[in-house]
Structure 1
Amino acid sequence: MINHISELYGRQIKLSDLSEELQHHPDIHVRPALAKIAGRWVCTRCQAKLKPTLAGLPSGQFYCYECIQMGRMDTLQGLATVDEPNRFAAVKHPMSWRGHLTALQAACAQQIVEVFKDHRRHLLWAVTGAGKTEMLFPTIEWAIRHGLRIGIASPRVDVCIELFPRIQAAFDGVSSVLLHGKSEAPYQYCQITVCTTHQLLRFYHAFDVMVIDEVDVFPFSGNPMLHTAVSNAIKPSGGLLYLTATPDRSLLRAVKSGYLSVGYLPIRYHGHLLPEVTIIKLPKIAAQIKESRLPGQVMTMIGRLVAAKQRFLLFVPTIQDLQRVGAAISREKIRCRYETVFSADPKRLEKVAAMRSRSLDFLITTTILERGVTFPGIDVLVLKADDRIFSSAALVQIAGRVGRNSERPGGQVLLYCSTRSSSVKACDRQIKQMNQKARQLS
C-alpha cells in the first residue's frame, strides 16, 4: 500500500494500490487503466492494442494480458500519477569518482552531455570494455547540478545489479535506488534510478535523462511494449541515450534514417585491442556432448587452465548441455571448483558472486552471462559455438568477457565448433574490424 505522495512522482500506479487518503490527494491525476480507442481496448500503461477474445473476462470486463506480470490492468482500474516535481536536494559536489577518462572517452562523454542538453536521441556504439559506465559520469554530474532526474535501465537484472554499486560509489551523496523483479527493498523517490526495462512500465514522464544499456539484448530488442515503456518514462522534454557494443538492425536503421545520432568508440579504456577469437573445428563435438563426453582437446584445455589457476567461463548453448558437460568433467576427476548457471537458476546471483569472489575456478553457463558481468582476468571457452543459440552478437559479447582488466588486457577466446557457421565467421570479422578501427585511432 502506497501512503506517501512522493512515491507517485513521475509514476503510474493502480489507484487501488494507494491508501484511501492518498487516493483523494489534489495533485493526483487518474486515467482509466484501459481505454477504448477506435473501437479497441488499449492498455494505458503499456499501450498494447488488445484482442477481445484474449482480453475478455467472465465478468464482461477486460484486462491487459501483455503487461500482466507488472500487476493486472483492467477496465475496473484507474491508473494514478503525479507530475514529476524534480524535488531533489542540492548537492554541491555530486561526483565522488576521482578517476580519469582517456581522450577518446572524454570526447564521447562530452558528446553525451550535448545530446541531453539538446534533448536528442543518440546511440553510442562502443566495444565491450570501453568504459561506457564511466563515460556516463559527466552527464550524470551535469544532470544533478541542474536538478534533473536520471534513469538508467537495462533489460538484464545482472547488468543492473553490477551497475548500481558503481553509480552509488561515483555519486555517494546523491539519492539512488535499484529496481528489478527480485528487489526486496521498497521503492523510494530518488534522483538516480537504476532498473530493468520492465520496471519502466511503472513510470510516466519521470526522467529528464534516460539511458538504456545493452539495448540490443532480449527481452528489450524487438519488444514494442518495452520500447513504449521507455517512451512513456521519458519526459517530453527529456533526452535518450542507447548504449551497445552490438547494435541490431533496427538501431542501424534508426541511425540511417536520422532518428538517432551516433557516436563510436572502437577501443577499450586501457587502450589495448579486443582479444580475437581462435576457431577450433571439432566435427564430432555435438554428438560427444550429447553422450556426456568432451573431446580430448577440450578436456586437456580445461585441465591446463585449472592447473595454471587461470579462471574461465565455459559457455554451452542449452540447459541440457550444462548437465552433460558437468558430468563429463566430473568423470575426469579434475580437482576444481565449479558451478553450472542458467537464467532461471534460483541460485544464479549467489553463483556469480562466488565466481567474482574467486571461490570458483570456472562457471559452466548458458548465454545468461554473455554480457553485463565482469570477472577480471578470465578466459572464455565456447562449446558448440556454431549452434543457432549463439548469434554473432552473442559471440561478440561472450568474447568481450576477456581482457577487460588493464592488468590482463589479453586472454584466450576459444570457439569449439563442428563448422564455421555464419555467426562464428561474423563474430571473428566484427572483432577484427573494430580492432582495425582502433589501430587507425592510435
Structure 2
Amino acid sequence: MQCSRCGNRDPRYFWKDGKQIYCRKCVNFGRVDLGEPLVPYASKPRKCVCDVQLDFPLTKYQQAVIRQLNDDLREGHDVFVYAACGAGKTEIVMESIARYLKEGKRVGFAISRRQVVLEICERMRKAFPQIRVVAVCEGYTDQTDGDLIVCTMHQLYRYYRGFDLLIMDEVDAFPFRDNEMLEKIAESACVGQRIYLSATPDERDLKRVEAGELKMVELFRRPHGYPLVEPRIISAPPAVQACFLLSFIRRHQKQHKPFLLFVPTITCAAYFEKILSLFGRCRAFTSKTIEKERLVAELRAYELEFLICTTVLERGITIHGVDVVIWKSDHPVFHEASLIQMIGRVGRSITMPSGEGLFLCTRKTTAIKRCARALRKMNEEGDICVN
C-alpha cells in the first residue's frame, strides 16, 4: 500500500472505511483513497509580458549569480542558492520567474511560514505589476489561481504537477525540514526545475550538491556592500544578563531604534511581556499570536519599541533599522541555523546597513560558536569576492 499523495507506506496510517481504504497521514489535506489517482492542477497558464521592476539596481555580484542560475536552469538542473541573509535571494530568482512566465509556464514560490508568504507576495506584486500574484496561506485561500502563486509549503497539495518552476525558500526550516510528507507533496507539485533558497543549508543539501544532484550558486555579499553583522556574545550569570538586557532597552529607546528580543519558548515570551512592558512599549509575538501583521506594522512605525518573539519570526522578515538581542542563546531550541537567521535580521537595509546583535547566555554552546564562525567565514568570502 502506498498513498498517491504523500507516499506513505506505513500500514498504521491507513484506515478502512467500508470498502475503501484511505491514508490518514495526509487526510488534513483532503481524503485520498488507496489507488485513487491525483488530478493534476488544471489551470492553463498564459504567456505573460513581464519584466522585473526594482527600485534599485542589482550589484554585479547579484548579476553574476543570476546568469549562473539561469544557465543551470536552461540545462535542466535543479539549483540551490546559498546566499547570506539579506543578500537578495528573492531578487536573484526574479529574472528566472520572468523568463518562465514569458514562455507560458507556471511558477510557484513556496515558503514555510505564513508571515513570510504575505511579505514575499507584496514584493512580487511590486516587482511584477503586470501580472496577477496570489498569496495562498491560512486566511488567504479564496483565490488560489494566478500567474505567480506564492504559498506555504502545506498549500502545495493544491498544485499536483502544477509548476514548471518551483522556488522553495528556507527549505531547512520548520515545518518542511525532515518532514517526509511535505517533501513528497512538494516533489509532486513540480514537473520541471526547482530552485532551493537558504542562508543555512543543512548537511543533506550539501551532500546532494556534492553528489551532483543539485547545482549550487553562492552569494555572501549584501547589496549595500557592508559585512554581515557578527554578534556580541555575553556569557554571564542570569542577573548580569538581565542588566545587559535593560541597558540594551534603554539605549535603543534613546536612539529611537526598534529591536527584536528573541526568547526560547512561548511561556518565556509571555512572562517577558508582563515584566518588560514596565520598561517600554512591547508585545509578545509567537505562533499563538493573533494579528501578527498588525504587530509587525506597529514595530515598523515605531508604535512598538520592540517585539518579544520566538523563532516564529527568525526568517524572512525585513524591518528597517532593526537590531536583535537573543535571551538564553544557549538554549537547546536555538541551533546554529536559527541563530544565523535571527542575527540576519540586522543590517538588511541599504540606508541602515549596519546594526547590533547581542547574544546573552550562561555559556558559549557549540551552536553559538558555529554561528559566529559561519558569519565570519561568509564575511571573509564576501571580501574575497569584492577584492
Check 1:178–1:337 CA distance in 2 against 1; reply closer, same or farther (3 A cut): same
Given the superposition, is the C-alpha separation of residues 90 and 398 from structure 1 closer, same or farther in structure 2, using an over 3 Å criterion? closer
Structure-1 residue corresponding to 2:378? 434
Whole-angstrom CA distance in 2 between matches of 1:69 and 1:350:
29
Does residue 259 (structure 1) correspond to residue 206 (structure 2)? The answer is no
Please report how far the alpha carbon of residue 183 of structure 1 lies from its aligned counterpart in structure 2 after TM superposition: 1.1
- Give the superposition deviation at 1:372: 0.8
Residue 230 (1) aligns with residue 186 (2) = yes
CA offsets per residue over residues 316-374 of structure 1, 9 Å max, x none? 000111122223324xx32x221101012223232223223332110000011111111
SS in 1 for 2:370: helix
- With normalisation by structure 1, the TM-score equals 0.83
| Structure 1 segment 248-397 matched on structure 2, within 5 A | 248-284=202-238, 295-330=242-277, 333-334=278-279, 336-397=280-341
Q: Does 1:132 align with 2:86?
A: no
Q: Which amino acid aligns with 1:103?
A: K
Aligned AA (2:207): R
- The corresponding residue for 2:346 is 402
Asked if 2 retains the 8 angstrom alpha-carbon contact of 1:381 and 1:415, the reply is: yes
Of residues 169, 186, 198 in structure 2, which corresponds to 1:213? 169
Q: Pick closer, same or farther for the CA change 1:229–1:116 going to 2, 3 Å.
A: same
1:76 CA drift (Å): 9.7
Contact 1:110 1:138 in 2 (8 A): no
Q: Which amino acid aligns with 1:259?
A: E
Partners of 1:314 and 1:134 lie apart in 2 by 28
Provide the rounded CA distance (Å) in 2 between the counterparts of 1:379 and 1:83.
45
2:369 maps to amino acid: K
Matches within 5 A, 1:33-44: 40=1, 42-44=2-4
Post-superposition shift, 1:61? 3.5
Aligned pairs (5 A) from 1:142-157: 142-157=99-114
For residues 64-119 of structure 1, the C-alpha deviation after alignment (integer angstroms, 9 at most, x for no partner) is: 22222212223596643366643x1542x443435321000001111222222222
- Show the 5 A alignment for 1:63-74: 63-74=22-33
Q: Deviations over 1:348-401 (max 9, x none)?
A: 232223223332110000011111111110110100000001001100000000
Assess, with a 3 A threshold, how the Cα gap between structure 1 residues 355 and 178 changes in structure 2: closer, same or farther: same
Give the partner amino acid of 1:413.
G
SS of 2:173 mapped into structure 1: coil
AA in 1 matched with 2:260: L
Instruction: Report if aligned partners of 2:15, 2:23 keep a CA contact under 8 Å in 1.
Output: no
CA RMSD of aligned residues (A): 2.0
Deviation at 1:57, TM superposition (A): 4.0
| TM-score (normalizing by structure 2) | 0.94
2:303 partner SS: coil
Contact 1:322 1:340 (8 Å CA) reproduced:
yes
Name the CA distance, whole Å, in 2 between partners of 1:195 and 1:187: 9
Q: Using the TM superposition, name which of 66-75 and 275-284 deviates more.
A: 66-75
1:45 corresponds to 2:18 = no
C-alpha separation in 1, matches of 2:242 and 2:112? 35
Counterpart code for 1:230: A
Identify the residue that residue 201 of structure 1 maps to in structure 2.
157
Q: Which runs of 5+ in 1 are unaligned?
A: 1-39, 289-293
Instruction: Identify which of 194, 217, 233 aligns with 1:240.
Output: 194
- Cα distance per residue 1:134-161 (max 9 Å; x no partner): 1112112211221111111111112111
CA distance 1:377–1:89, shift in 2 (3 Å): same
Give the distance between the partners of 2:35 and 2:107, measured in 1 at CA.
Answer: 33
Contact 2:224–2:350 at 8 Å: present in 1 too? Answer: yes
Alignment partner of 1:125: what SS?
strand
Tell me the CA shift for residue 62 of structure 1: 2.6
Amino acid across the alignment from 2:272: V
Q: 1:192: Cα distance to partner?
A: 0.9
Between the two proteins, the alignment pairs up a number of residues equal to 386
Q: State the AA in 2 paired with 1:277.
A: P
Q: Deviation per CA, 1:166-207, whole angstroms, max 9, x where unpaired?
A: 11111111122111122153322x221111111112212221
Counterpart code for 2:14: A
Q: Does 1:141 align with 2:141?
A: no
- Taking the aligned partners of 1:415 and 1:392, their CA distance within structure 2 comes to 13
CA distance in 1, matches of 2:364, 2:87: 28
Identity percentage over the alignment? Answer: 33
CA distance change for structure 1 residues 75 and 438 in 2, over 3 Å: closer, same or farther?
Answer: closer
| Distance in 2 between residues matched to 1:206 and 1:82, nearest whole Å | 5
Task: From 187, 193, 204, give the equivalent of 2:144.
Answer: 187
Aligned to 1:114: 71
> C-alpha displacement at 1:162, in angstroms?
0.6
- For the Cα contact (< 8 Å) 1:84–1:205, is it kept in 2? no
Which structure is larger by alpha-carbon Rg, 1 or 2? 1
Distance in 2 (alpha carbons) for counterparts of 1:71 and 1:354: 37
Corresponding residue for 2:360?
A: 416
Distance, in Å, in 2 between the alignment partners of 1:246 and 1:89 is: 35
Question: Structure 1 residues 112 and 362 mapped into 2: Cα distance closer, same or farther (>3 Å)?
Answer: same
- Does the CA contact (< 8 Å) of 2:47 and 2:101 recur in 1? no
